[in-house]
Amino acid sequence: MRNLPGIVLAVVAVGLTACSSGSTSSAPSSSAPSSTTGAARTSSPTTTKSQLDCDAGYLAQFSTRQKLAQLLTVGVKDTADAENVVRTEQVGGIFVGSWTAPALVANKQIDQVKAAARVPLMVTIDEEGGRVSRLKDLIGAVPSARVAANTVSADEFYQQSLARGQAMKNLGITVDFAPDTDVSDEPADAVIGDRSFSNDPNVVTQYAGAFIRAMHDAGVGTVMKHFPGHGHGSGDSHTGAVRTPPLAQLQNDDLVPYRNLIGSGAAVMVGHLDVPGLTAPNVPASISPQAMALLRQGTGYNAAPYNGPIFTDDLSGMAAITSRMDIEDAVAAALEAGADSALWISTNAVTQVLNRLEQEVSSGRLPLARVNESVLRIARYKGIPLTC
């Protein structure tokens, strides 16, 4: 997203526990309570016939076009724009950007937008703190991730983040595209810079983990970004192609926070990053089947398998992707590669994108079975109880 550099309430943590502490040393939790805004497990549960029946029942309420719409998260200008795209196309999520009229959340107008949705709507935002803060005029400003990691303990950061999460929840926000889990020693004002907690992946793990638990305890979903790691990239993906170090070099640095936090209940955003040893030439990670498979399987970076939702970075406002393809091609490529939610910053092309995606399904390039899997992942992330 622009300066990007992210529905979850309770977390099932692997190596981390959902408790009122910023510490990452507690024993893992074995279960999480269900809730209409609850966290979905990111590991694959045992599938029973009853669950298959429930899944089929949930999917049966949607046409193919409506299923595809559940896989879109789009930026909105104001309440009318948001309500229109939700009512007419039933998109799965909207994005509140710096250009969005503040009244949408400040005046509770988001409630009428949510009422237009057939199933719970994701209301997403970039709220990292520091220079990436869309809500500072409503809930106050906080220091950047790097400053926080250098000035307060992880426990204190948890408490601060919990208060902000509760304020965000009260405004109607359901998903925060944060924390930035990039590992970086860039200058503070660089594209990642002070948005990174540290150049030490273990410090990033500790503080990102505290943030994730705090937001989930407040009832707000989180999205780690930018997989597999933007912190040592060659430039700014807003302005052009970015090349990371080879995959082998990411293993003991950029990928460590993902390895440690992949079971935290957070979703993952994949960046527009060319990764030698992983992505094909001129195919950034956000549209790369190999990058999606690395994340899903986990074995390629010694992590647990991941079955939560994969978001793309912004597909319409960042030159690392827009210099290569238009929005219809980008969304199709991302979903066909294995992403679950294609993110971009306006509603202008939603109808055209859905027309294109219906063609992709009809041709078999985007199998309906894959669409169904993504719809269910998004539903579980939203906390929709898939029981019957």
Residues known to be catalytic: 238, 313
Q: Are 267 and 381 in contact (CB under 8 A)?
A: yes
Give the whole-angstrom CA distance, residue 223 versus residue 353: 24
Query: Looking at this protein, which amino acid is placed at residue 31?
Result: S
**DSSP designation for 272:** S
Give the whole-angstrom CA distance, residue 165 versus residue 312: 23
Query: Looking at this protein, which amino acid is placed at residue 55?
Result: D
Residue whose C-alpha is closest to residue 329's, from 293, 269, 284, 265: 284
Long-range contact list for 135-142, CB < 8 A, 24+ apart? 135/105, 135/167, 135/168, 135/171, 135/173, 137/102, 138/102, 138/105, 138/106, 138/167, 138/171, 139/164, 139/167, 139/168, 139/171
Give the whole-angstrom CA distance, residue 132 versus residue 289: 29
Q: Are 179 and 128 in contact (CB under 8 A)?
A: yes
Angle between helices 350-363 and 79-89 (to 10 degrees): 20
Residue whose C-alpha is closest to residue 162's, from 105, 222, 224, 216: 216
DSSP 274-338: E-TTTSPTT--GGG-HHHHHHHHH-GGGT-----S-EEEPPSSS-HHHHTT--HHHHHHHHHHHT
